[in-house]
Amino acid sequence: MGTNGTPPTGRRAAVVAGLRTPFVKAGTDFRDLSAVDLGAAVVNELVARSGIPPKEFDSLVFGQVIPSPTVTLIGREMVLRTQLPRSVEAHTVSRACATSIQATTDAADQIRLGHSDCAIAGGAESISDAPIFASRTLAQALVELSRAKGLGDRLRILSRLRPKDFAPVPPALKEPTTGLTMGESAEQMAQKNGISREAQDEFAWRSHQRAAGAWETGKFAAEVMSVPLPPRYDRSSARDNIVRKDTTVEALAQLRPVFDRRYGTITAGNASPLTDGAAALVVTSEERARALGLVPLGFVRAYAYAALDPRDQLLQGPAYAAPVALDRAGLRLADMDLVDMHEAFAAQVLSNLKAFASRAFAEKELGRAQPLGEVDPAKLNVNGGSIALGHPFAATGARMILQTLRELERRKGQYALLTVCAAGALGAALVLERE
Ligand SMILES: CC(C)(COP(=O)(O)OP(=O)(O)OC[C@H]1O[C@@H](n2cnc3c(N)ncnc32)[C@H](O)[C@@H]1OP(=O)(O)O)[C@@H](O)C(=O)NCCC(=O)NCCS
């Protein structure tokens, strides 16, 4: 990639269409649907709405962060369960919360290389349908039982089991190397970076205000499909159900901290909630878009992924990735018309923003003389973010790309920076452009 954003092959990857399901709180509207169901619904509808003949598609990249043990290759399922021709090659990706950023940059790279001309990129997540595991002791006993020689053997194996061995084990949002949950890690960041509870609640309130405003003014109407709901399919989910128009800073201040009950600052109100949903984009070569008579929503100009030590500030990845992505784009933060940052926690976004503006961080952590700079609040997450809209892990990146490109169009802007923090202390940054 050259520093003016032109790929060496001269081919640009255009995002020509996108769609998402409503994002709903886990255990509510999509309780009886799986991630594969949600993904297939959005891919099918996206293909239909795009007006692109299905035979034009040649590849698909899709992600799911907490995969189902029974459907391990969601990417290929998105082809087999939709109207796409069976000849569309597909693969599955995961980069934790940046999964559909990864799906999009993979698709864009294949297009830039000339290996693909018309692709789908996206992700789906169902926390309602997350796998529940048996304890290790129970699992081992079941394996031994299957090999047991006689009744005596069976009784000996069963007699080892205690009631606690039968307790189901849910997947944990824990960092394996530190043993801390995302929330506990974000709590540490709030303390280290001096992010107050008030600042977090104010940020969360704004996320709700802006997301509710975007719904009210019809901004989301064309990017959110309605999903018929089982078992009778006589009801549909048509809107996000986490956004609270009427929440106030005072109401948020009343909520009790969840991850550090005594001294903590993170609550259900200033964290992203556990969410079900799916989102997908159509990514094509510029030439193919033109040949199909499509006007691109925008182009992938540059991107960067970065990583730090998970024992340090787990969700600070965006502060490492953003300067590299902007360098690769040949642009500065000041050139951006919009900045969209994934809101895992208000404390995390506010920590990332502090690092963006800090000369000490730039010198010590990045070896740069100048900090990235201050983000203009009027350009940041202007239609709300993951705190208000929800965060179906693998779908969030595609949601952000679609939402940002459509807003860029409304504002007749040219450039946008997107960032996502992710488990494993990873960070993603993407620079999008309109012609
Ligand atoms: C924080 C978390 C534990 C809260 O889960 P929960 O307790 O099921 O949350 P709820 O939605 O029931 O909210 C708890 C309470 O806060 C209230 N609340 C939540 N958001 C609110 C808001 N914006 N305004 C006012 N009240 C709010 C709810 O009404 C509820 O009140 P009630 O107990 O009187 O019914 C859960 O969302 C979580 O684990 N989030 C983090 C996910 C994560 O790690 N994301 C990052 C991945 S990188």
**Each residue of 383-413: pLDDT tens digit?**
999 999 999 999 999 999 999 999 999 999 9
> Is the predicted pLDDT of residue 350 greater than 90, yes or no?
yes
> Is the predicted pLDDT of residue 172 greater than 80, yes or no?
no
pLDDT per position as a tens digit, 272-292: 999 999 999 999 999 999 999
| pLDDT mean over 326-343 | 98
Enumerate the active-site residues.
Answer: 97, 391, 421
> Is the predicted pLDDT of residue 10 greater than 90, yes or no?
no
pLDDT per position as a tens digit, 208-262: 999 999 999 999 999 999 999 999 999 999 999 999 999 999 999 999 999 999 9
β-sheet bridge partners, residue 235: 229
Ligand 1 interacting residues, C-beta cut-off 6 A: 97, 173, 182-183, 208, 244, 247, 251-252, 255, 258, 268-269, 271-274, 344, 391
DSSP run (H or E) holding 155: helix 151-159
What pLDDT, on the 0 to 100 scale, is given for residue 170?
Answer: 77
Q: Separation of 25 CA from ligand 1 center, angstroms?
A: 10
Q: Separation of 242 CA from ligand 1 center, angstroms?
A: 10
Whole-number Å distance between alpha carbons of 409 and 433: 10
Burial-class residue 172 by CB neighbours within 10 Å (0-12, 13-18, 19+). Answer: exposed
Whole-number Å distance between alpha carbons of 97 and 420: 7
What pLDDT, on the 0 to 100 scale, is given for residue 8?
Answer: 63
Comparing 61-70, 265-274, 417-426, the range with the smallest average pLDDT is 61-70
Taking Cα atoms as reference points, which of 60, 214, 167, 212 lies closest to residue 124? Answer: 60
Give the 3-state secondary structure of residue 126. Answer: coil
β-sheet bridge partners, residue 15: 283, 298
| pLDDT mean over 4-25 | 87
- The dihedrals phi and psi of 288, each to the nearest 5 degrees, come to -65, -40
Nearest atom (ligand 1) to Cα of 269 = 20
Handedness of CA 134, 137, 139, 142 (dihedral sign): negative
Residue with tokens 């802007």: 413
| pLDDT mean over 51-66 | 98
Q: Separation of 258 CA from ligand 1 center, angstroms?
A: 9
What pLDDT, on the 0 to 100 scale, is given for residue 131?
Answer: 86
Nearest atom (ligand 1) to Cα of 251 = 25
pLDDT-based confidence at residue 5 (cuts at 50, 70, 90): low
Whole-number Å distance between alpha carbons of 315 and 345: 9
Q: Separation of 311 CA from ligand 1 center, angstroms?
A: 26
What pLDDT, on the 0 to 100 scale, is given for residue 253?
Answer: 98
* Residue nearest (by alpha carbon) to ligand 1 atom 32: 255
| pLDDT mean over 358-382 | 98
* Residue nearest (by alpha carbon) to ligand 1 atom 12: 268
What pLDDT, on the 0 to 100 scale, is given for residue 6?
Answer: 61
| pLDDT mean over 123-141 | 92
Percent of the chain with pLDDT over 70: 98
